[in-house]
């Protein structure tokens, strides 16, 4: 309404000036200039006040925004804000509903056969690692298995949140490699616990600097501990030794397989009261290929240790089994041509006497010896000595297997 009044005043002033100009044909240019000056003066007075008010309102509205922008320029962005600024969000990418040709391509590359025994192995790894980390940190540590999934190696490397430490290890007996990724929150938590940090305090994450030698060595000890537990977890299936070769902070330097190759990704969560984080173990399917047949077996129940009920049943059934026993009078070697020329009625000479011992065998294995004779109307063999004892007892066999699996 104020602007409309101002415009009306301006128009009125201009009208008066033009009327004076039209009526005063005899007036000189000074009168016309005076009329124009009066009109301009009225326009300046009316519009100047309104313009100043508008500029003052704009300055007042922009002051909070300028304050926030200045305050935000001094703040360091975290990893999530950086990802959002660059338009890259890992969780949204994974949870996105992919369809069409992309779904066919991804399913062909990621989907793979299920390995039932692998889940049992990592379940055992969780129990072993829980005990080992409790002894290592002298703290209450809980290890849980989050997921076991199939991924493409290249996609996994691109999805690793940095900073992180990647341990490259080698399975000697399988001649393959794997990755053990420790995220930043777990790194600082384990360092805080090992160096005497107080309980109930979250680990402080230091931005903008690489990991120090002390921090790297502490993380190396934790990864080597997990590698040793993995050896014990795989030992019932296949003896293997995992050797930690190097630690990397750049995923590009940890390329142990082709980007399109399929791999197994195991996510473990380690909690130490209100501190902790995740550790990921990634192994390409090519690394697990030597024990693929063992991992495909169906698991019908787990029992580590001796089962006396089953041992007693097995021993009973073995003693009740029927076997064929042979009494061998004489053995010799003949050419194949001589055997093929044998005729009906031909006599074979045995270079033995009636009192020579007879070998008693089962399945070609000598058991004992005896003397051939006659019992009523049947030919018989009298056992002269006891059966040969096995070279290794069951207890000795178990001790040998235990020593082989645990050389220390």
Tell the CATH topology of 112-295: Chemotaxis protein chec (3.40.1550)
Examine the pLDDT at 227 and tell me if it is beyond 50.
Answer: yes
Residue 269 has a pLDDT of: 92
Range 191-215 average pLDDT: 72
> Are 203 and 137 within 8 A, CB to CB?
no
3-state secondary structure the chain: CHHHHHHHHHHHHHHHHHHHHHHCCCCCHHHHHHHHHHHHHHHHHHHHHHHHHHHHHHHHHHHHHHHHHHHHHCCCCCHHHHHHHCCCCHHHHHHCCCCCHHHHHHHHHHCCCCCHHHHHHHHHHHHHHHHHHHHHHCCCCEEEEEEEEEEEHHHHHHCCCCCEEEEEEEECCCCEEEEEEEEHHHHHHHHHHHCCCCCCCCCCCCCCCCCCHHHHHHHHHHHHHHHHHHHHHHCCCCCCCEEEEEEECCHHHHCCCCCCCEEEEEEEEEEECCEEEEEEEEEEHHHHHHHHHHHCCCCCCCCCCCCHHHHHHHHHHHHCCCCCCEEECCCCCCCHHHHHCCCCCCCCCCCCCCCCCEEEEECCEEEEEEEEEEECCEEEEEECCCCCCCCCCHHHHHHHHHHHHCCC
Q: Which fold has domain 311-405?
A: Surface presentation of antigens (SPOA) (2.30.330)
The pLDDT assigned to 300 comes to 52
Residue 81 token pair = 């804000």
Are 331 and 354 in contact, with CB atoms under 8 Å apart? no
Q: What is the pLDDT of residue 93?
A: 52
For the entire predicted model, the pTM comes to: 0.51
Is residue 221 a contact partner of residue 319, using CB atoms and an 8 Å limit?
A: no
Q: How far apart, in whole angstroms, are the C-alpha atoms of residue 283 and residue 183? A: 17
**Six token digits for residue 93:** 């990418």
Quote the percentage of the chain above a pLDDT of 90: 14
Residue ranges of domains in the chain: 2-73, 112-295, 311-405
Amino acid 231: pLDDT = 92
Residue position matching structure tokens 């030698």: 213
Residue located via tokens 């934790």? 222
Residue 210 has pLDDT above 70, yes or no: yes
Angstrom distance (rounded) from CA 251 to CA 164: 9
Mean pLDDT, residues 288-312 taken together: 72
Q: Is there a contact between 17 and 38 (Cβ–Cβ < 8 Å)?
A: yes
Is residue 332 over pLDDT 70? yes
The pLDDT of residue 42 is above 70: no
Greater confidence, 124 or 31?
A: 124
What's the longest Cα–Cα distance across the chain?
A: 175
In tens, the pLDDT along 110-124 reads: 555 678 888 889 999
* Half-sphere CA count of 274, side-chain side, radius 13 A: 8
Judge whether 272 and 143 are in contact, CB under 8 Å.
Answer: no
Q: Does 289 have pLDDT greater than 60?
A: yes
Q: Cα-atom radius of gyration of the chain, to the nearest Å?
A: 45
d(CA 82, CA 88): 9
Residues forming beta bridges with residue 147, ordered by sequence position = 267
Residue range 387-399: average pLDDT? 62
Cα of first residue to Cα of last residue in the chain, in angstroms, is 95
Q: What is the pLDDT of residues 123-135, one digit of tens each?
A: 999 999 999 999 9
Of 82-86, 136-140, 375-379, the poorest mean pLDDT is in: 82-86
| 20-29, 168-177, 218-227, 261-270: range with lowest mean pLDDT | 20-29
Sorting pLDDT into bands at 50, 70 and 90, what band is 197? Answer: confident
pLDDT band for 31, please (50, 70, 90 cuts).
Answer: low
pLDDT of residue 108: 44
């Amino acid at each position: 309404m104020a602007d409309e009044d101002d415009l009306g005043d301006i128009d009125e002033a201009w009208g008066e000036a033009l009327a004076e100009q039209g009526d005063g044909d005899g007036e000189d240019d000074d009168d016309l200039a005076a009329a124009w000056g009066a009109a301009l003066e009225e326009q300046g007075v009316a519009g100047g006040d309104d313009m100043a008010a508008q500029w003052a309102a704009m300055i007042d509205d922009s002051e909070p925004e300028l304050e926030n922008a200045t305050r935000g320029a001094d703040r360091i962005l975290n990893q999530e804000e950086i990802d959002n600024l660059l338009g890259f969000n890992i969780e949204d990418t994974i949870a996105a509903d992919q369809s069409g040709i992309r779904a066919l391509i991804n399913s062909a590359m990621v989907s793979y056969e299920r390995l039932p025994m692998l889940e049992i192995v990592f379940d055992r790894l969780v129990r072993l690692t829980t005990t080992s980390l409790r002894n290592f940190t002298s703290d209450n540590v809980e290890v849980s298995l989050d997921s076991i999934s199939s991924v493409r190696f290249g996609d996994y490397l691109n999805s690793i949140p940095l900073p992180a430490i990647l341990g490259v290890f080698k399975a000697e007996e399988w001649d393959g490699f794997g990755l053990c990724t420790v995220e930043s929150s777990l790194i600082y938590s384990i360092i805080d616990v090992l160096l005497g940090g107080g309980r109930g305090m979250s680990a402080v994450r230091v931005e903008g600097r690489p990991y120090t030698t002390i921090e790297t060595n502490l993380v190396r000890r934790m990864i080597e501990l997990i590698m040793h537990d993995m050896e014990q977890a795989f030992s019932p299936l296949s003896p293997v030794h995992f050797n930690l070769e190097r630690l990397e902070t750049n995923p590009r330097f940890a390329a142990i397989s082709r980007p399109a190759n399929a791999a197994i990704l195991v996510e473990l969560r380690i909690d130490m009261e209100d501190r902790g984080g995740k550790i990921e173990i990634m192994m390409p399917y090519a690394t697990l290929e030597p024990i693929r047949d063992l991992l495909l077996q169906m698991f019908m129940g787990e029992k580590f240790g001796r089962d006396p009920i089953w041992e007693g049943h097995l021993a009973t059934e073995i003693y009740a089994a029927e076997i064929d026993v042979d009494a061998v009078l004489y053995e010799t070697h003949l050419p194949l041509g001589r055997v093929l020329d044998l005729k009906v009625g031909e006599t074979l000479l045995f270079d033995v006497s009636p009192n020579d011992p007879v070998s008693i065998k089962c399945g070609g294995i000598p058991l004992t010896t005896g003397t051939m004779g006659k019992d009523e109307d049947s030919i018989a063999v009298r056992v002269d000595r006891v059966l040969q004892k096995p070279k290794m007892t069951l207890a000795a066999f178990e001790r040998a297997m235990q020593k082989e699996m645990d050389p220390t």
